[in-house]
Amino acid sequence: MNNTSTYYAGLDIGGTTVKAVLVDHLSQQVGPLTEVRSKVKDGYEGTFDQLDLALDQLAAGAGVARGAIAGIGLDVPAPSSDGVIWGRANLGDNWVGTDIRGKLSTRTGVPVFMTNDGNAAALGEYALRHDNNGSLMLVAPGTGLGAGLVLPGGRSYEGANGLALETGHISVPFREDDGELPSCSCGLKGCAEAWVSLMALRRRLRLQLAKPEWSSHPLNQDDTPVEEKAFKLRDFAEKGDALAIQLFKQQGFILGYAIADMVRTIDPGLVVIGGGLAETTFRDSFMKWILEGFAERAWPAYQHNPLNPDIVTTRFEWALGGDAAAAIGMAYTACELAQGATR
């Protein structure tokens, strides 16, 4: 096959939408980002129909034949190993135990590469930086606290069982006002995700609003559920609201702590912060709070080279890829791996 006329698709399956990107044989994006509904709750067959639709739209948008797509990179919001989904997460029941990678490859007739959403976003950030010698750890606060690690050369680190980088569930030394460790969605207590996530923000907001000092806060005059109120906190923080700032400051600081322990384990050199906070006007403050937490927990050598203090040993950057990072990462990976397999 003539490699210059082949294309590679990245498909990022989320809870509500599939985001899709097409790249050429040099990993350059062609055509626009495509988005279709994911319908994951209806079972994987329904989602496969949507993936077909996304592939058709990608080809049409780039003006190439659908048959020119020679490889697919796919990421799913759930743990998997060798293309088989291990846990339900945000998916429907029939995804679990299914060889998604194998079935999609049979259906499309092209090789499929698969990982989870955290690794996919990390691969996207790696691809966008064009630095094949470095490594990169992505940490993305969102509904939960996702993470991914890309090693020098551009491969994500999956672990022996596809279970690596569950960074949201490392324990952090922080307690609620009553001395208890907060419960995490995973069933454990005291996880980083129980402090740094949308779920954590809801809990912390509810606790704070019950305190006399915030009795006249506008969110206490608002009778919408706390889930809705938590969504409003970004707007409040952007306007300098003291309660919102306090809540995000705590999240940033504790995130810095968690990152320090991860950096101590893997020393990635570059930490990329993803998730929706990258789009806010208070992101510089949020990064400062992360660095304050990091500085308190990480030894000086993880901050500056002891022999040359001008050299920063762990750099922090905001994500570049936004919503499209995971799809870009999977298109890039499909291009690299599919061509590598035929070289």
Contact residues for Zn ion, defined by CB under 5 A = 169, 184, 186, 188, 191
Q: Is 33 left (phi over 0), alpha (psi -120 to 50) or beta?
A: beta
Name the minimum Å distance from CB 195 to Zn ion. Answer: 10
Region of residue 39 (left: phi > 0; alpha: psi -120 to 50; beta: else)? left
Which tokens belong to 297?
A: 């927990």
Question: In 10 A of CB 262, how many CB atoms?
Answer: 20
Nearer of residues 117 and 336 to Zn ion, judged by Cβ: 117
Q: What is the three-class DSSP state of 293? A: helix
Q: Which is nearer to Zn ion, 204 or 229 (CB)?
A: 204
Closest separation in Å from C-beta 256 to Zn ion: 18
Contacts of 12 (CB under 8 A, 6+ apart): 18, 19, 20, 75, 117, 120, 324, 326, 327, 330
Closest Cα partner for 155 from 128, 136, 179? 136
User: Which CB sits closer to Zn ion, 12 or 193?
Assistant: 193
Kindly state the smallest distance separating residue 187's Cβ from Zn ion, in Å: 7
- 166 versus 238: smaller Cβ distance to Zn ion: 166
Q: Which is nearer to Zn ion, 164 or 338 (CB)?
A: 164
The least CB distance from residue 79 to Zn ion, in Å, is: 13
Nearer to Zn ion (CB atom), residue 186 or residue 242? 186
Nearest to 259 by CA among 247, 269, 248: 269
For residues 53 and 35, give the distance between their C-alpha atoms in angstroms, rounded to a whole number.
10
CB of 56 to Zn ion, least distance (A): 39
Q: Write down the least CB distance from residue 151 to Zn ion, Å.
A: 25
Contact (CB, 8 A) for 85 and 116: no
Alpha-carbon distance 14 to 136, whole Å? Answer: 23
Helix H or strand E segment including 187: none
For residue 105, what are its two tokens?
């490859």
